[in-house]
Structure 1
Amino acid sequence: MSVKETCLICFEDNPIARMFSIGTCHHKYCLSCMKHHVEVQLQSRIVAQCPHKDCKCEVNTETCKKFLSPELADIMIERIKESSIPVTEKVYCTFPRCSALMSKQEVLEHTKTSFVSEGGRKCMKCHQYFCINCRVPWHYDMSCYDYQRSETYSRSEDQLVKSLAMKKLWRQCSKCKHMVELDSGCYHIICRCGHQFCYTCGAEWKNKRATCSCPLWDEHHIIRP
Structure 2
Amino acid sequence: MYMQVTGAVQPQNGKISTLVNQVSLLQKKFADCKPSLVACSDVKFAFRFAKDAIVSQITWPAENSKGKRKLKETCVICYEDTDVDQIFSVDGCFHRYCFPCMKQHVEVKLLQGTMAKCPHEGCKSEVSIETCGEFLDPKLVEIMSQRKKEASIAVTEKVYCPYPRCSALMSKSEVLEYTNSSFVGGEKSGARKCVKCHFFFCINCRVPWHYNMTCYDYKRSKPHPRTEDKMLDSLAKRKLWRQCVMCKNMVELAEGCYHITCRCGYEFCYTCGAKWKNKKPTCSCPIWDERNIIRDGRRR
TM-score normalised over the length of structure 2: 0.51
Identity of aligned residues (%): 47
Q: How many residues are aligned here?
A: 183
Residue 151 of structure 1: how far off its partner (Å): 9.0
Residues 11-49 of structure 1, C-alpha deviations (whole Å, 9 max, x = no match) = 323232221111102221110011111122223332222
Residue 143 of structure 1: how far off its partner (Å): 2.0
Query: Which secondary structure state, in structure 1, belongs to the residue aligned with residue 210 of structure 2?
Result: coil
Residue 93 of structure 1: how far off its partner (Å): 0.4
Residue 125 in 1 paired to residue 196 in 2?
yes
Residue 7 in 1 paired to residue 75 in 2?
yes
What is the CA–CA distance in structure 1 between the aligned matches of 2:156 and 2:224, rounded to whole Å?
21
Residue 175 of structure 1: how far off its partner (Å): 5.8
Q: Structure 1 residues 15 and 92, CA, compared in 2 at 3 Å: closer, same or farther?
A: same
Structure showing greater relative contact order (alpha-carbon pairs closer than 8 Å, 6 or more residues apart): 1
Q: 1:13 is aligned with what amino acid?
A: D
Q: 2:241 is aligned with what amino acid?
A: K
Work out whether residues 190 and 204 of structure 2, in 8 Å CA contact, stay in contact via their aligned partners in 1: yes
What is the CA–CA distance in structure 2 between the aligned matches of 1:130 and 1:105, rounded to whole Å?
15
Residue 177 in 1 paired to residue 241 in 2?
yes
Question: Which of 73, 83, 88 pairs up with 2:156?
Answer: 88
Work out whether residues 90 and 104 of structure 1, in 8 Å CA contact, stay in contact via their aligned partners in 2: yes
Query: Which secondary structure state, in structure 2, belongs to the residue aligned with residue 111 of structure 1?
Result: helix
Q: 2:84 is aligned with what amino acid?
A: I
Q: 1:142 is aligned with what amino acid?
A: M
Residue 64 in 1 paired to residue 128 in 2?
no
Question: Which of 108, 111, 114 pairs up with 2:179?
Answer: 111
Residue 26 in 1 paired to residue 90 in 2?
no
Residue 78 in 1 paired to residue 142 in 2?
no
Query: Which secondary structure state, in structure 2, belongs to the residue aligned with residue 65 of structure 1?
Result: helix
Q: 2:192 is aligned with what amino acid?
A: R
Residue 8 of structure 1: how far off its partner (Å): 2.9
Work out whether residues 190 and 203 of structure 2, in 8 Å CA contact, stay in contact via their aligned partners in 1: yes
What is the CA–CA distance in structure 1 between the aligned matches of 2:230 and 2:102, rounded to whole Å?
36
Q: Which residue of 2 aligns with 1:203?
A: none
Q: 2:94 is aligned with what amino acid?
A: H
Q: Structure 1 residues 160 and 126, CA, compared in 2 at 3 Å: closer, same or farther?
A: farther
What is the CA–CA distance in structure 2 between the aligned matches of 1:53 and 1:180, rounded to whole Å?
34
Work out whether residues 194 and 201 of structure 2, in 8 Å CA contact, stay in contact via their aligned partners in 1: yes
Gaps of 5+ in 2: 1-60, 63-70, 243-250, 258-288
What is the CA–CA distance in structure 2 between the aligned matches of 1:125 and 1:115, rounded to whole Å?
19
Q: Structure 1 residues 132 and 101, CA, compared in 2 at 3 Å: closer, same or farther?
A: same
Residue 122 of structure 1: how far off its partner (Å): 1.4
Gaps of 5+ in 1: 164-170, 182-188, 197-206, 210-225
Q: Which has the higher helix share?
A: 2
Work out whether residues 73 and 81 of structure 2, in 8 Å CA contact, stay in contact via their aligned partners in 1: yes
Tell which deviates more after alignment, 54-63 or 172-181: 172-181
